[in-house]
Amino acid sequence: MNLPTDIANLALDAIGADLTLSDIEDGTPNAQPVLRAYRECLTGLLRAAPWQFARKQLPMDLLADATGQTAGVGTTVIPPWVYEYAYPNDCVAARFVPASPVVANQSPPGNISINASVPISSALAITTQLGQRLRPTRFLIARDVNYPPQAGQLWWEIRGESPAGRSVILTNTPQANLVYTSLVLYPSEWDDSFRAAMIAYVAQAIALKVHQKNLPLARQLRNDQIAITKSKIQQARINDGNEQWSSTDHLPDWIAARRSGGAWPWGGEEDGGLGMLWAPWTPAGFSDGSAY
């Protein structure tokens, strides 16, 4: 019961369909509407809540460094950003870019700098991310025509890429990681809440097609499945809030400004601002035109 076909059949069961699919990709008239809805429902539902099982954190592939100090990459970066990274192939929603660890002499050229060995505060002595909470920094998702896919690449199978360009992530953080919601294709990796939501989400998407000869019944079944999906999404968002942890290890703004000279983007950029994503979910759309 851990294959896409199993999820499809459970969705058909949920709306009382008198049929069973042998394979969601067998091309039969019964399978085609389910297959059309399945992938869109999967990506939409993954974006709808910060599902913990889908959380992924990896170093990003650097495409360009505007400073010209990185060999083997371009130097053309969309202003006013410094670094440009490739959008991960399996990313359905970028959650945040963690700020780089505090290091000595991180100030930009010409700014006020202090000797990192001076113990003004214990917070300034932190030099690694080991054991620290992740603090988000500013980033922006954009499209860049300067770095198209490599010749011969199957761009139509890669999210965010085309012959005319690709999706990129812009930030001023060197050697940046990305925390994101990944495309988890295998139902065996889903948690129970997501599994139930996915069954209901697919069911509401196909209800009108399956019961097209009885539209009043189809609409009622669709509405029932929409309500189930919304309740699962709501619970996932609540669970994410309950599972968050906080820390009293706080670097005051006046210390951050003193260390860096206070000039954007070095002073306090990790504390928020335009281009920073900190609510890692987007509303899910439903077949009745509503969203949640």
Dump the DSSP string for 56-101: EEEEPPEEEETTS-STTSB----TT-SEEEEPPTTEEEEEEEEPPP
On whether residue 285 sits in a domain, the answer given is: no
| 291 part of a folded domain | no
Residue 235 lies in a domain: yes
CB distance 128 to 135 below 8 Å = no
The answer to whether residue 249 is domain-embedded is no
Q: What is the per-residue pLDDT for 264? A: 38
Number of domains in the chain: 1
Is residue 289 in some structural domain? Answer: no
pTM of the model: 0.78
User: Average pLDDT, whole number, for the chain?
Assistant: 81
Average pLDDT for residues 230-235, to the nearest whole number?
94
Residue span of the structural domain in which 181 resides: 4-244+260-271
pLDDT in the model for residue 198: 97
pLDDT tens-digit series, residues 29-84? 999 999 999 999 999 999 999 999 999 999 999 999 999 999 999 999 999 999 99
- Is residue 164, in this structure, part of any structural domain at all? yes
Length of the chain: 292
